[in-house]
Chain A
Amino acid sequence: MNRKGLRLDQAPPLHLPLRFFLTAPLFGVGAGLLLAWKGAELLLTPWSFPTLALVHLITLGFLTMVMMGALYQITPVLVGTPVPGTGLVWLVHLGLVCGLAALTLWLLTGAPFLNWLAVAGLLPAFLIFLGQMALALRRAPTWNATVFSIALAVTALALAISLGLVFLGEFAALWQLPARRPLATAHVYLALGGWVGTLITGVGYAVIPMFYLSGKFPAHLTWLVMAFQLLLPISGSLVAFLAPSPVWHLIPLLIAASATGVFTFAVVRALRGRKRRIIDSTLRYWQTGIACAPLSLASLAVFTFHPEFRWLMAFGVLFLLGFAMSILSGMLYKIVAFLVWLHRFSKMAGKMDVPLLRDIIPHRPTALQWWTHLLMLGLLVVAALTGHDGLARAGGLALVVSCGALFLILLRAARFNRPTTSTESTGITATNSSGAATAEPQPPSQGSTEA
């Protein structure tokens, strides 16, 4: 163990993770608008360009955006070493936002310069981010399960991104790929199984015991799930390259099912045995996500035997929106409220009028937001299975509403900087001068306006 490497004081400035957390719901709104505009056409085949645009607005724009912000925040705490070069983070964020916007527009319009713009944004953004993570992990004072899962997730992301950029190169006619389909399959296994799956389970092990006092997850279960998660992208890619018959895809599917099964079992047991009996929106979101994970795999299993695209689209909705977006939304509420509190109010913790987490993010709006999320899920699962155009558009609108509400709740939290006496605590921007008297080390407006 490298003792001198241990630093517990390296939490980054508040505006750094917040800019990712506040942008993510906006891309969710974008995805909803696209769906409301184009309708069921987007749900008919996974290979069309507009569908790819929709998929990446969600995977890159929402999921990866949140997970990157979260990694900047939690790596110093969980790994015990600072992330270097935080001065470059604004560039990562800008590159991701512009690159993804260009990618989306290119997929929708096909204007060639947009393809280049996408690469010009995404490539440096991910190079910097991955470099920072690699350096932080290399300096890790100790390698426990959490550090391992972060490393696994980031490696999978690096490979998925590389393949994504290689695809863009082919679209720009820079080269001709000999094996496009297997590479695309590998891209999906790496991105969804390796990156999204591993990071979300890793977050679960870290926060469920913390939030609900449920006791630690048994180490053998976490290592078991991680072993499956390591095998999943490897086996998935191998099968894609070597095995022409779809039956072989049952192997990665079984591995994914095992990982999901063990993880679901562990989470359900932990939540059942939790000592804190509170029910909040984050708990609701965990339950939603945990329910959707096995359903998504069931739908993928059906697709393996009945290769009709609707089963694949239902998988996409259940996994991306039902599992990943649910859990990340629930996490956002907790993380954002706590970070705002920690940066602005922890120094005055003993005072009776110090704002509490529930002042920063009140329960009721988040509960309503959760309902809109459920409505969206219901509409889109049915739309994916039936191809019903009206339902697809309605689901798109529901996505706009739920992500829009998420954004507004988080924005209010990011701008919250003063104890309020009334329950109506809007108009906080007008109080910057008094906010400066609190413990916030930077100008209070910084966190919100840049994001």
Chain B
Amino acid sequence: MTETTLDLREVPENERSERLTAAFEALPSGGLLFFTTAEDPRRVLRQLITNLWGRFDWAPLKEGDSQWLSQIVKRERPGPTGLEDMLIVEHRRCDDLFAEAEAAAQEGDQERTELLFGRLEMGMERHFTIEEEGFFQEVDQRMGLMGGGPVAVMRDEHQQMRGMLRRMAGALAESNLEDFLAASDTMIYLMEQHNMKEEEMLYPMAEEVLGAEMDELLQRLYLF
């Protein structure tokens, strides 16, 4: 894999955002940059949001004792323009990770499967958290759903997906790639039908309900 990574672990705190911004500006449109930090990258992310909001997508890939790995992508179109934009980007990123992890398992490459699956798990969990603790709650309150309605079904399905991710992780821990693939083949249908319901129905509806204060909400959700 050719992944160029910017190492910010040794960089003094007041220079980090500068270094990251410089590396970001050097990226071509659509370009991808990895960076490692010694602690939770959300600190430097805050500064990024202040400086570069509307031009990038961020995602955590790995958290660790003293080594956190994240990625930022330079957006081709400005955004996220709304919830739909932000959350669908995440769906597609997880789709890609999913397909790559599956392909690695098909090739029998345990190590690479673990690497990619780890990123997938992380991305999915963050996405669930953003939805459950940010976005669903917001929709719940505005529409007076009291935790019921479409949002409740979505929460349920998140639990099922968490279960399937654990199941895949279990197979991977036993180095049973065959079983990992069987579990992933079940997971994909669960995940895609869930995403479809969100993308076709829930997100458009929520955009309408949430309307104006979108940017503020998005920036808050971003830090989840």
Using CB atoms and an 8 Å cutoff, list the residues of chain A in contact with chain B: 1, 3, 6-9, 77-78, 80, 141-142, 144, 146, 206, 209-211, 213, 275-278, 334, 338, 341-342, 346-352, 354, 356-359
User: Would A8 and B201 count as touching, CB distance under 8 A?
Assistant: yes
Could you list 25 A-B pairs, sorted by A, with CB under 8 Å?
Answer: A1-B205, A3-B205, A3-B209, A6-B150, A8-B150, A77-B196, A80-B201, A141-B205, A146-B200, A210-B189, A210-B192, A211-B189, A213-B95, A213-B188, A276-B102, A338-B189, A346-B160, A349-B160, A349-B162, A349-B164, A349-B190, A350-B166, A350-B167, A352-B170, A357-B182
Q: Which of B102, B153, B164, B201 has the most CB of A within 10 A?
A: B201
- A78 to B196: give the CA distance in the assembly, Å: 8
Q: How far is the CB of A83 from chain B (nearest CB, A)?
A: 16
CB contacts (< 8 Å) of A1 on chain B: these are 204-205, 208
Residue-wise, chain B 134-175 has the 8 Å CB interface mask toward A (1 for contact) of: 000000000100000110111000011111101100110000
- A210 to B192: give the CA distance in the assembly, Å: 6
- A213 to B91: give the CA distance in the assembly, Å: 11
Specify which of A275, A338, A350, A352 is in contact with B162 (CB 8 Å cutoff): A350
Residue of B nearest to A207 (CB): B192
Residue of A nearest to B198 (CB): A8
Query: Does B186 have its Cβ within 8 Å of any Cβ on chain A?
Result: yes
User: Would A350 and B189 count as touching, CB distance under 8 A?
Assistant: no
User: Would A352 and B167 count as touching, CB distance under 8 A?
Assistant: yes
- A182 to B115: give the CA distance in the assembly, Å: 64
Using CB atoms and an 8 Å cutoff, list the residues of chain B in contact with chain A: 95-96, 98-100, 102-103, 106, 143, 149-150, 152-154, 159-164, 166-167, 170-171, 182-183, 185-186, 188-190, 192-193, 196-197, 200-202, 204-205, 208-209
User: Would A350 and B193 count as touching, CB distance under 8 A?
Assistant: no
Given A3-B209, A9-B150, answer yes or no on A210-B204 (Cβ-Cβ < 8 Å): no
CB contacts (< 8 Å) of A78 on chain B: these are 200
CB contacts (< 8 Å) of B171 on chain A: these are 352
CB contacts (< 8 Å) of A9 on chain B: these are 149-150, 152-153
Given A9-B153, A277-B103, A278-B102, answer yes or no on A350-B163 (Cβ-Cβ < 8 Å): yes
Specify which of B96, B153, B189, B208 is in contact with A3 (CB 8 Å cutoff): B208
User: Would A334 and B189 count as touching, CB distance under 8 A?
Assistant: yes
- A1 to B205: give the CA distance in the assembly, Å: 7
CB contacts (< 8 Å) of A352 on chain B: these are 167, 170-171
CB contacts (< 8 Å) of B193 on chain A: these are 77, 210, 338
Specify which of A141, A210, A275 is in contact with B201 (CB 8 Å cutoff): A141
User: Would B167 and A351 count as touching, CB distance under 8 A?
Assistant: yes
